[in-house]
């Protein structure tokens, strides 16, 4: 089995897709770092001070003013009310949620990348892991070896998991190393509040507690890894079912884009909470962001994604072991 996994890893690296993904991350992180640096400087110039309390008070006033607008939708007003409650809670407890530092940048980056960017990278890496060999006919040679089909497919799946883990590890390293040049490398032990729960239009703080930022980052990257595994497993299933890599990428890309759109539109469609792409923003449950559909929780979203994960694996192995190859 180890030999099979090693061979599959060699195939992935020879395609150079993972290398391209790493280079893209290495290019994107400096851009995002510069954007955040310019944003913080612009905020300081606008307010006239670097005191985070004054800046947070200004944000609270701005949010209150926006809530007074009659043109906003009810869903967006609910989002603003939740944001306002959180900002006030941070201010009352003297905790700066955006203290400068590489760990803070890592947290913000992973919270924004978990729903689209990271699954997109995984899709690119895993889209042709089976379909490319099926389309070119080389899968016939592989199946003539005295190895059971399920072992061949399992080796491909494990190779995909290793690639997913490597992409996420490189993301963590690049975001920390590059952003630290600008913001510094401190902030690992800065307190982060988690445990916010939303009921109707109220932000409940009964279970809110502070954790060091390093522990918060471990939870955030763990959830991001899980999301990437689910996205990779679904891509893997499509790669087994379809011979065209372009079709696999097209379906997954459409699903991810649809998820990003639906997340802001499905509050009145309760059944949408069972779609995998609506449940990808798992870090929102850590920071207290309002879920797409009322009543969704971290446990619910993880359970939905696990169902999609197991179904995709079941379909992949059943089809691959039973299908005639010609």
Residue-wise DSSP of 121-132: HHHHHHTTTTHH
- Is residue 21 within 8 Å of 166, Cβ to Cβ? no
Residues 6+ apart with CB under 8 A from 111: 220, 283, 284, 287
Residue 296 lies in a domain: yes
Neighbours of 219 (CB within 10 A): 16
161: left (phi over 0), alpha (psi -120 to 50) or beta: alpha
198 - beta bridge partners?
203
Alpha-carbon distance 240 to 132, whole Å?
10
Q: What pLDDT is stored for residue 145 in this prediction?
A: 62
Alpha-carbon distance 72 to 69, whole Å?
6
Alpha-carbon distance 211 to 82, whole Å?
21
**Per the structure, how many domains does the chain have?**
1
Residue 88 lies in a domain: no
The residue length of the chain stands at 326
Specify the residue for token string 């606008």: 46
Alpha-carbon distance 77 to 67, whole Å?
6
Q: What is the pTM (predicted TM-score) of this model?
A: 0.86
Domain encompassing residue 173: 2-50+99-322
Residue 67 lies in a domain: no
Alpha helices (H) along the chain: 2-14, 17-47, 52-67, 74-92, 102-113, 117-126, 131-136, 138-143, 149-183, 213-241, 245-262, 284-287, 298-322
User: What secondary structure letter does DSSP report for 242?
Assistant: -
Residue 56 lies in a domain: no
236 closest CA partner among 122, 119, 126: 126
Residue 278 lies in a domain: yes
Q: What pLDDT is stored for residue 113 in this prediction?
A: 92
Q: What pLDDT is stored for residue 140 in this prediction?
A: 56
The torsion angles phi and psi of 211, rounded to 5 degrees, stand at -130, 150
Residue 85 lies in a domain: no
Q: What pLDDT is stored for residue 326 in this prediction?
A: 45
Residue 62 lies in a domain: no
Residue 65 lies in a domain: no
| Terminal C-alpha separation, the chain | 25
Which residue stretches of the chain have pLDDT < 70? Answer: 48-50, 70-77, 79, 132-147, 198-206, 266-268, 323-326
């Amino acid at each position: 089995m180890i030999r099979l996994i090693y061979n599959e890893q060699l195939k992935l690296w020879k395609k150079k897709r993972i290398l391209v993904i790493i280079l893209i991350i290495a290019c994107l992180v400096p851009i995002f770092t510069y954007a955040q640096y310019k944003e913080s400087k612009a905020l300081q110039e606008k307010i006239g001070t670097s005191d985070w309390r004054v800046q947070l008070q200004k944000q609270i006033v701005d949010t209150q003013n926006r809530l007074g607008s009659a043109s906003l939708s009810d869903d967006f007003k609910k989002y603003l009310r939740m944001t306002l409650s959180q900002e006030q809670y941070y201010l009352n407890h003297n905790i700066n949620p955006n203290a400068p530092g590489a760990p803070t940048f890592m947290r913000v980056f992973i919270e924004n990348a978990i729903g689209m960017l990271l699954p997109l990278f995984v899709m690119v890496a895993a889209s042709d892991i089976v379909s490319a060999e099926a389309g070119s006919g080389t899968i016939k040679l592989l199946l003539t070896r005295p190895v059971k089909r399920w072992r061949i497919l399992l080796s491909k799946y494990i190779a995909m998991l290793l690639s997913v883990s490597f992409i996420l590890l490189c993301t963590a390293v690049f975001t920390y190393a590059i952003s630290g040049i600008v913001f510094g490398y401190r902030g690992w032990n800065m307190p982060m509040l988690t445990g916010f729960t939303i009921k109707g239009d109220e932000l409940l703080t009964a279970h809110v507690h502070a954790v060091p930022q390093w522990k918060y980052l471990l939870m955030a990257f763990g959830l991001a890894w899980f999301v990437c595994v689910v996205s990779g497993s679904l891509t893997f299933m499509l790669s087994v079912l379809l011979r065209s890599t372009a079709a696999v990428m097209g379906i997954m890309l459409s699903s991810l884009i649809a998820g990003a759109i639906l997340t802001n539109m499905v509050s009145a469609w309760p059944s949408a909470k069972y779609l995998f792409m609506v449940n990808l923003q798992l870090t929102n449950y850590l920071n207290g962001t309002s879920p797409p559909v009322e009543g969704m929780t971290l446990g619910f979203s993880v359970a939905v994604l696990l169902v999609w994960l197991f179904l995709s694996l079941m379909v992949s192995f059943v089809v691959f072991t039973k299908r005639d190859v010609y």
